[in-house]
């Protein structure tokens, strides 16, 4: 069994790598023909994608275990832009920086995700931001500060240690300051700012320090700057961060809160006309990109009817 390579597996691996970048129309046609030629081809290809997804699922612990090749001084500059835009923008920026004198980029760079989209952004200082769906933020890196303005949504920040250059995430007029740590900030409309700390220490501040949070703490910050914090079990923290894997986890959340959360993931809205139903609570983990699946599960467990429409799904009383 040693050294045995399944030929179909080998072809599937080659296709996976080829389609990993923008493939030409003729490549795509050849791929479709290959898929159609034998059911085992499709299976091997799905399996190739599955083992890659398996690696990807462990990406957070893996990031801590392996040393990553760091960008050289030349590519460091455009890495920021590479993350910022399309491949075209990246190559333009690269072309520009290869020919132009390099200056410190002090201009803020914007990053945004659409409905249901997730994105990892690697900053030039080695920090990594994971943006949840429907999130907007800007990054400004200077010699002595790393400033992130979270305009909308939520993101997890894995901060590269650098005492001389504090990492500050601001949202709703509040600053969350870290030196080297991992924490998440959530700034969703009509909800208090929420901060989760996975590792290290962060300080919540407005014009003056408000609170200091340590690992496994969750805090909400009201508009007036009142900080309510408590320590949570690591599993609970992981549930709050389940969005990293595209899952939404609710603990006794009202249906209207859940519907609001799904609205950040899909253009299909969950509509609950009856306020009494909107107040019912649900507990569970759901696929964020599948509001219909959620609505049907809810209908099933709470004895309601889920009525699908074109761009919405309505949760109503049965027989009404």
Partner 1 sequence: MAESFPYTRAQDNKRPAAAFDRPEPAGSQAQISWLEQNLLPHEREIRAWLRKKRVSDVEIDDIIQETYARIGTLDDLSVITSPKHYAFQVAHSILLNHLRRRAIVSITAEGDLDTLGVACDQASPEEEVAQREELTRVVDTIATLPQRTREVLLLRRVAGLSQRETADRLAIAEKTVEKHLARAALILMNQFGRGIKARERNRPDISDSND
Enumerate residues 234-293 that contact partner 1 by CB under 8 A: 235, 239, 246, 249, 266-268, 282-287, 289-290, 292-293
Nearer to partner 1, 21 or 163 (CB): 21
Distance CA 186, CA 234 (A): 18
- In three-state secondary structure terms, 202 is strand
Residue ranges with strand state E in the chain: 109-112, 119-122, 128-131, 136-141, 146-158, 167-171, 174-178, 182-187, 193-199, 202-205, 209-213, 217-221, 227-231, 247-254, 269-271, 281-287, 304-308, 312-317
Q: How far is the CB of 121 from partner 1 (least distance, A)?
A: 9
* Site string (212-231) toward partner 1, x via CB under 8 A: --------------------
Nearer to partner 1, 192 or 246 (CB): 246
Distance CA 132, CA 135 (A): 6
Q: How far is the CB of 227 from partner 1 (least distance, A)?
A: 27
Angstrom distances, CA of residue 136 to CA of 164, 168, 218: 26, 16, 22
| 55-74: contacts with partner 1 (CB under 8 A) | 55-59, 61-63, 65-66, 68-69, 71-72
Select from 44-52, 135-143, 145-153, 273-281 the region that touches partner 1 (CB under 8 A).
44-52
Nearer to partner 1, 63 or 145 (CB): 63
When asked if residue 161 is in the footprint of partner 1 (CB under 8 A), the reply is no
When asked if residue 122 is in the footprint of partner 1 (CB under 8 A), the reply is yes
């Amino acid at each position: 069994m040693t050294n045995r390579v399944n030929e179909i597996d080998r072809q599937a691996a080659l296709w996976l790598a080829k389609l990993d970048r923008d493939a030409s129309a003729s490549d795509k046609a050849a791929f479709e023909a290959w898929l159609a030629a034998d059911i085992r081809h499709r299976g091997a290809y799905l399996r190739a994608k599955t083992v890659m997804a398996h690696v990807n699922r462990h990406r957070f612990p893996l990031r801590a275990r392996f040393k990553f090749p760091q960008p050289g001084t030349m590519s460091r500059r455009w890495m920021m832009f590479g993350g910022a835009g399309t491949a075209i923008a990246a190559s333009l920026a690269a072309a520009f920086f290869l020919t132009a004198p390099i200056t410190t980029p002090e201009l803020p760079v914007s990053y945004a995700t659409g409905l249901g989209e997730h994105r990892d952004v690697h900053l030039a200082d080695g920090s990594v931001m994971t943006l949840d769906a429907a999130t907007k933020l800007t990054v400004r890196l200077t010699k002595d500060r790393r400033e992130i303005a979270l305009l909308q949504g939520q993101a997890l920040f894995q901060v590269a240690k650098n005492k001389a250059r504090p990492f500050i995430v601001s949202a709703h007029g509040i600053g969350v300051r870290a030196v080297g740590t991992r924490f998440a900030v959530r700034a969703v409309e009509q909800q208090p700012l929420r901060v989760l700390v996975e590792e290290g220490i962060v300080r919540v501040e407005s014009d003056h320090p408000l609170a200091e949070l340590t690992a496994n703490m969750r805090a909400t910050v009201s508009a007036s700057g009142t900080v309510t914090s408590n320590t949570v079990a690591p599993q609970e923290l992981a549930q709050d961060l389940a969005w990293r894997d595209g899952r939404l986890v609710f603990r006794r959340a009202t249906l209207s809160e859940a519907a609001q959360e799904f609205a950040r993931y899909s253009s299909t809205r969950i509509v609950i006309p009856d306020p009494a139903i909107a107040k019912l609570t649900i507990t569970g983990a759901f696929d964020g990109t599948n509001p219909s699946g959620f609505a049907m599960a809810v209908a099933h467990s709470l004895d309601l009817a889920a009525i699908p429409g074109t761009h919405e799904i309505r949760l109503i009383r049965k027989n009404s």
